[in-house]
Amino acid sequence: MIEINVLILSAGRRVELIQCFKKAAHKLNIKSNIIAADCSDTAPALYFSDKSVKLPRIDDKNYINCIISVCNQENIALIVPTIDTDLLLLSENKEKIEEKSKAKVLISNPQVIRICRNKIWTQKFLEDNNFGVPKMYTDSELENQDLNYPLFIKPKSGSSSINVFKVSNKNELELYRRIICEPIVQDYIEGEEYTVDAFLDFNGNIITIVPRLRIAVRSGEILKGKIVKDREIINDVTRLLKILKPIGHITIQLKKTDKEIKYIEINPRFGGGAPMSIQSGADSCANLYRLLMGENLEYNEDYRDNIMFLRYDNSICLDENMEIIKW
C-alpha cells in the first residue's frame, strides 16, 4: 500500500480539514498519517490527527528547521499551510524545505503570496487586469471630499475579518482610522457574497472551481453556505487564476451585484469553509494525493450543485494528562 503522510501546519481548529484528508486516503486506499502541528498543545485539531507535534511560533528563528526535522522524522510527503502569516515565510523557504526533506510544500511563489497578502497590492493587481473591485480611497480623498456612505474599512494585511467594519458615517470613519493599523477604505458593495474554492495542480493548471454562496458568517468564517454553479463567477475566476497563476487550494472572496462581480480578497490557502466544497465532490485532498502519486488531472465540474451546508461548534474534554475524556 502506498504511504503519503501529510503535515498540517498551524492546525488550530481545522478538524474538518484533517477529516477530509483521512476520508480521501481511505477512498483511494492510501496509507496516510495526518500529522497536525501547532504552537499550542490545546489546538483542537491536534486531537483528531494520527499524530501531533508542537512547533515553535512562526516568528521563531528555528521554525523552518523544526518543520524540516518533523518532515524527516515522520516521512512527510506534503506540507499544508492553513494561516496567512505562514505563507510568505514558507514560500521563501520552499526550496530549502524540499531540498532537505522529501516533502512538497503546498505553496504559491512569493510574488503571488505578496500580491494576495497585501490588500493594496491585491487591489492594484485586480485593477491592472480589468477585474471588478470596490473603489479604494486615498488619504487625501478621505480628507477632502464628500463621501457616500456606507464605506468598508479593513487592515492592509489583515485576516479572519479582524478589524473589518462597515462604516456608516464620518465619525465612525475617523474612529476606525485611528484604531486600525494601516487601514484601507473602500466603497461598501451591496450584493450576494460568495467564497470561491479553486484547486490548481503544482504547475498552476486549474482543476476545480466551486462558488459557495455565503448565507451566514461569524468572525469571518462561514456558518451556512450553498454550492452554486454560477457560470459568470466560474468564467471570471478562471480568467483571474490564469493570470495570477497560484498553486494548490485557493480561496477567493467576491460580491456579485446586479451588474458585475467585485473581488474582495484572495487567500492562497485552504479557507475554513473549504470542507464544504470538498464534500460536494471537488475533493482537493483526494486531488493532492492523486498528484503526489503521479496522476495528471484535468479540469472538471463533477461536484454537486445547489446543496447547503450548516456548520456548528463541537467540543472535546481533556483530563489532567491532556487525554480526551470519552463520554
Q: What is the pLDDT of residues 101-129, one digit of tens each?
A: 999 999 999 999 999 999 899 999 999 99
Q: How far apart are CA 304 and CA 306, in angstroms?
A: 7
> Is the pLDDT at 131 greater than 70, yes or no?
yes
Q: How confident is the model at residue 273 (pLDDT cuts 50, 70, 90)?
A: very high
Task: Dihedral sign for Cα 212, 22, 50, 316, please.
Answer: positive
> Is the pLDDT at 40 greater than 80, yes or no?
yes
Q: How confident is the model at residue 161 (pLDDT cuts 50, 70, 90)?
A: low
Question: In the prediction, which pLDDT does 243 show?
Answer: 98
Residue among 214, 310, 300 at smallest CA distance from 264: 214
Residues 6 or more apart whose Cβ sits within 8 Å of residue 326: none
Residue with cell 497585501: 118
> Is the pLDDT at 18 greater than 70, yes or no?
yes
Q: How confident is the model at residue 297 (pLDDT cuts 50, 70, 90)?
A: very high
Mean pLDDT of the region 272-300 = 97
Q: What is the mean pLDDT of the chain?
A: 93
> Is the pLDDT at 134 greater than 70, yes or no?
yes
Mean pLDDT of the region 315-323 = 88
> Is the pLDDT at 145 greater than 80, yes or no?
no
Q: How confident is the model at residue 142 (pLDDT cuts 50, 70, 90)?
A: confident
E strands in 96-238? 104-105, 151-155, 165-167, 183-187, 192-200, 206-218, 221-227
Q: How far apart are CA 44 and CA 75, in angstroms?
A: 23
Residue among 240, 238, 234 at smallest CA distance from 210: 234
Question: In the prediction, which pLDDT does 20 show?
Answer: 98
Q: How far apart are CA 134 and CA 260, in angstroms?
A: 11
Question: In the prediction, which pLDDT does 164 show?
Answer: 82
Mean pLDDT of the region 62-84 = 97
Q: Which residue has the higher pLDDT, 313 or 301?
A: 301
Question: In the prediction, which pLDDT does 36 show?
Answer: 98
> Is the pLDDT at 282 greater than 80, yes or no?
yes
Q: Which residue has the higher pLDDT, 175 or 52?
A: 52
Question: In the prediction, which pLDDT does 277 show?
Answer: 97
> Is the pLDDT at 314 greater than 90, yes or no?
no
pLDDT tens digits, one per residue of 222-263:
889 999 999 999 999 999 999 999 999 999 999 999 889 999
Q: Which residue has the higher pLDDT, 299 or 325?
A: 299
Q: How far apart are CA 187 and CA 257, in angstroms?
A: 13
